[in-house]
A and B are shown apart, each in its own frame.
Chain A
Amino acid sequence: MGKRRGLLFYLSIYRKILIQDLKSKMSYRADFVISTIGMVLTNVAGFITFYILFSNFPSINGWDYHHMLFLYGFSLIALTPVQCFFDNNWNLRFMVQSGDFIKYCFRPVNVFFYFMSEVFDAKGLGQLAFGIGTLVYAWSHIGIAVTFLTMAKLILALFAASLFMISIMNIAAATCFWIQGSGYVMVIMFRFKDYAKYPASIFEGIFRIIFTFIIPIAFVAYYPSLLILEPDSFPLLSILSPVIGIIFFIISYLFWMLGVKKYDFTGS
């Protein structure tokens, strides 16, 4: 893999590729506008679903309306990085199938980095705004004190939470190196994220373990946000979530790169 490059080098490359991507996006302005409207609409529909649910049932598993809203807003923010920075995963299987993927293997930069940097999905910013609005509203109604410590915890919790969906999608996308017709794997994994906004305490038995450690949607909102919602009695997994998140991310990265290696070898 040649010599190791520094972080600054990668940052400057990312900036250059990003500008190119935005320029090409701007040439399809109608598409950009419609996509943004679509993104806002999904969030509105998600909120309507949520609202209908709570107009029939006052609480879910001991979580009231505002605490659930907190989880909801938190999950939307935590899902923004995967939407904005890792959206190119959706194109992976087409590129692998058509053979275009080989171009990434010939550059003197990290393949994973180069591939992901090629697309910055600006629609995710609409989701971010929606998430922040929801979180602030819920936050003020629950009445959590705004201190330096809680803000620091919030940022750490969001960072940790965002790693999990990124890892899930990396692995789901990389299955295309081995499985043909793997599109559904990504579609289904992406639909799982809709359940990240509910407290993971609803799962029982073996499924608690599956949704915590195998398909870790319990970490997308529930465990990290307990750091803020239950500052005195959060479970051990909450405080460990940044570490577990990093481990998950590394595993997904290695799996993804393993796929690249296999692709290299077959020379297809």
Chain B
Amino acid sequence: MNPRKLIALTRAGIMESLQFRLGTFCTLIGNLLYIVLVYFLWKAIYASSGSDTVNGMTFSDTMIYLVLATALFNFLEMFIVWDMSRSIQSGKIILDLLKPMNYRRYTFWSYSGSHVVLFVLTFIPTFIVVMIITHGAIPLGFNLLWFIVSTILALVINFSIEMLVATVCLYTESTWGINIVKETIVLLLSGASIPLAFFPEKLRRIVSYLPFRAVYDIPLSLLLKKNTSCEIALIGLQAIWVVVLTAAGIIFWNISVRKITVNGG
């Protein structure tokens, strides 16, 4: 694969997302307000509990975890399901399928630009704010390296989940419903809305066998050094999910793409 083609797609994506500066600014303000909501809620929760540490998490641990989970969520968010359903309706998908590039690869790389922009515009500012508020409670060391590797793997896993769900939409012609089901399941079971440490034992065991925790929980545990097993094992687990979900996605897509029916285009 010629890397120049991929870089061109990334650049186009970056320019496209920088087009809407005012919108990006509003997003930034909105995200900060959202973090304030999370902060007050958990502050009240910890104040009512009477102890500083609940399930091995202190208030600042929980805060860092949830704030960075929100930042990761914004950074990882993709609209593949929406885009695909719209391009099926309009017929544009035919043009994408005819491009001299594998559709899956094309979709991934055309999103990469907005990922770069979002990482710089949302994740890094949030990270800095968290560092200032907690007076540097995030350890800075090798964990940053693990975190970056793990986030890239999380990105691929998230992309694979999106592609699998988008492929389901080829059959159901339902987008909103399928998308909301996906979003709900991912957010709940990945630990993005409540850290997995708070889950009841049984539920936590079930969740540990599912791919969703590889999206938010593993990168964040690595960053905060809250991991119970060693780094290599967690990264390995993510890598396994990357392989499994990518293979499943490719097979499912290849079977389903023959079924696409497009009116016009």
Chain B residue numbers with a CB within 8 Å of A204 are 40
* A37-B177, A41-B180 as given contacts; A180 in contact with B172, CB under 8 Å: no
User: Is B44 located at the chain interface by the 8 A CB criterion?
Assistant: yes
Contact between A41 and B30, CB atoms less than 8 A apart: no
A202-B43 Cα distance, complex, nearest whole Å:
8
Q: What does the 1/0 interface line of B222-239 toward A look like (CB < 8 Å)? A: 000000000000000000
User: Is A268 located at the chain interface by the 8 A CB criterion?
Assistant: no
Chain A residue numbers with a CB within 8 Å of B27 are 184-185, 188
Identify B41's interface contact among A35, A37, A198, CB under 8 A.
Answer: A198
Q: What does the 1/0 interface line of A32-62 toward B look like (CB < 8 Å)? A: 0111111101100100110011011111111
* A182-B23, A204-B40 as given contacts; A192 in contact with B174, CB under 8 Å: no
Contact between A38 and B184, CB atoms less than 8 A apart: yes
User: Is A181 located at the chain interface by the 8 A CB criterion?
Assistant: yes
Identify A31's interface contact among B33, B48, B55, B174, CB under 8 A.
Answer: B174
Interface size on A, as a range, is 35 or more
* A57-B54, A182-B23, A185-B30 as given contacts; A39 in contact with B48, CB under 8 Å: no
Contact between B188 and A49, CB atoms less than 8 A apart: yes
Contact between B184 and A41, CB atoms less than 8 A apart: yes
Interface size on B, as a range, is 35 or more
User: Is A179 located at the chain interface by the 8 A CB criterion?
Assistant: yes
Contact between B44 and A202, CB atoms less than 8 A apart: yes
User: Is B194 located at the chain interface by the 8 A CB criterion?
Assistant: yes
Contact between A35 and B173, CB atoms less than 8 A apart: no
User: Is B103 located at the chain interface by the 8 A CB criterion?
Assistant: no
Chain B residue numbers with a CB within 8 Å of A189 are 30
User: Is B143 located at the chain interface by the 8 A CB criterion?
Assistant: no
Contact between A61 and B176, CB atoms less than 8 A apart: no
Q: What does the 1/0 interface line of B171-183 toward A look like (CB < 8 Å)? A: 0111111111100
A34-B43 Cα distance, complex, nearest whole Å:
37
Contact between A184 and B30, CB atoms less than 8 A apart: yes
Contact between B49 and A195, CB atoms less than 8 A apart: no
User: Is A265 located at the chain interface by the 8 A CB criterion?
Assistant: no
A45 to chain B: closest CB distance in Å? Answer: 5
Chain A residue numbers with a CB within 8 Å of B172 are 30-31, 34
* A61-B48, A192-B34 as given contacts; A52 in contact with B20, CB under 8 Å: no
Q: What does the 1/0 interface line of B159-194 toward A look like (CB < 8 Å)? A: 000000000000011111111110011011000011
A86 to chain B: closest CB distance in Å? Answer: 16
